[in-house]
Amino acid sequence: MRKTAVAVAFGAAAGTYEDDAHLQRLVAIRLFRRISALLSAAPPLPGPPHILEIGCGTGFLTRSLRQYRQDAELLVTDLSAPMVAQCRRHLGDAPGTTFLVMDGEQPCVRPPRAGFDLVCASLALQWFGDPAGALAAWAELLRPGGHLAFATLAAGSLAEWRAAHTALGLGAGVPDYPTAERLAMLWPSRGHGHIQIEPISCVYPDGHAFLSGLRRIGAHLAVPDRRPLSPGALRRVLRQVSRPAGFAVTYQVAYGWFQKDDLLA
Ligand SMILES: C[S@@+](CC[C@H](N)C(=O)[O-])C[C@H]1O[C@@H](n2cnc3c(N)ncnc32)[C@H](O)[C@@H]1O
């Protein structure tokens, strides 16, 4: 099953993830900046904020959230048990932090009495089969006036890798990432949301380094209906992307934030 394969791939990479997750580290910082701006602009809460993180990985975003609000109650989750364990190791003894292995598409958590103040996910949503269903489930867990915040990949990501395949008459195993317009259609009802796209370029020494980097972070699974390339076809793709200045890959990172209607406002 696809979900098991995703969990196994990321689990196997939990120990090497942070050495190669340059994009993920950067995006977590950018998403955290948006979250902190969001929370600082909101009216002060009567108590500590309750935050649910989905797809925590090794904890890039988690550590920023923990440092930002030491009084926050953090529920930190991921589909992969080794990722959750690695995240817990990185955070050390952090009071107010609970870790849970959980499928973010079917969040089986009991929200605090009023609901979570924030549900967030950095670069996890692109692995989901039903992102609209997941966002609706997350919104259910929010208190009125609470926020969702996520980063995911949008159309145009990995365009250079895809173009190299197309030029050779081959199909790349990368998903058809949604456009900003498609993402904006995923917002749950009873609230309003925004999507912002930021292109980020990463340069790898060559195609081999790009592929081995994906493997070391566990993000190497091809889309389910794509047959793997033969070794000869893969060699041709790697030659196709080979440049003296290295292989530059663009990621179109979509940041989404949503506020649930506050019935009392
Ligand atoms: C690219 S990593 C990002 C991890 C971390 N948020 C970061 O920014 O470094 C994607 C993470 O999403 C998790 N993931 C994938 N599908 C998931 C699901 N259905 N529910 C929860 N987590 C999931 C993976 O196990 C992995 O840890």
Does the C-beta of 28 come closer than 6 Å to ligand 1? yes
| Tokens found for residue 66 | 């923990």
**CA–CA separation, 152 and 254 (whole Å):** 5
**CA–CA separation, 158 and 63 (whole Å):** 28
Does the C-beta of 65 come closer than 6 Å to ligand 1? no
pTM of structure: 0.96
**CA–CA separation, 136 and 131 (whole Å):** 9
Given this model, what pLDDT does residue 43 score? 77
Domain architecture of the chain: domains with CATH:
2-260 (3.40.50.150)
> What is the CA(23)–ligand 1 centre distance, in A?
14
125-182 pLDDT per residue, tens: 999 999 999 999 999 999 999 999 999 999 999 999 999 999 999 999 899 999 999 9
Does the C-beta of 10 come closer than 6 Å to ligand 1? yes
> What is the CA(96)–ligand 1 centre distance, in A?
22
Given this model, what pLDDT does residue 264 score? 60
**CA–CA separation, 38 and 145 (whole Å):** 12
Given this model, what pLDDT does residue 47 score? 83
> What is the CA(124)–ligand 1 centre distance, in A?
4
> What is the CA(123)–ligand 1 centre distance, in A?
7
CA dihedral 182, 187, 189, 190 (to 10 degrees): -140
Q: Which residues of the chain have pLDDT under 50?
A: none
Does the C-beta of 103 come closer than 6 Å to ligand 1? yes
Does the C-beta of 73 come closer than 6 Å to ligand 1? no
Given this model, what pLDDT does residue 265 score? 55
Does the C-beta of 127 come closer than 6 Å to ligand 1? yes
> What is the CA(97)–ligand 1 centre distance, in A?
18
Q: Which residue among 1, 23, 66, 79 is best mutated to probe the pocket of ligand 1, counting the most ligand atoms within 8 A of its Cβ? A: 79
Does the C-beta of 82 come closer than 6 Å to ligand 1? no
Q: Which of 252, 260, 37 is nearest to 146 (CA)?
A: 260
Which distant-in-sequence residues (6+ apart) come within 8 Å of 169 by Cβ?
A: none
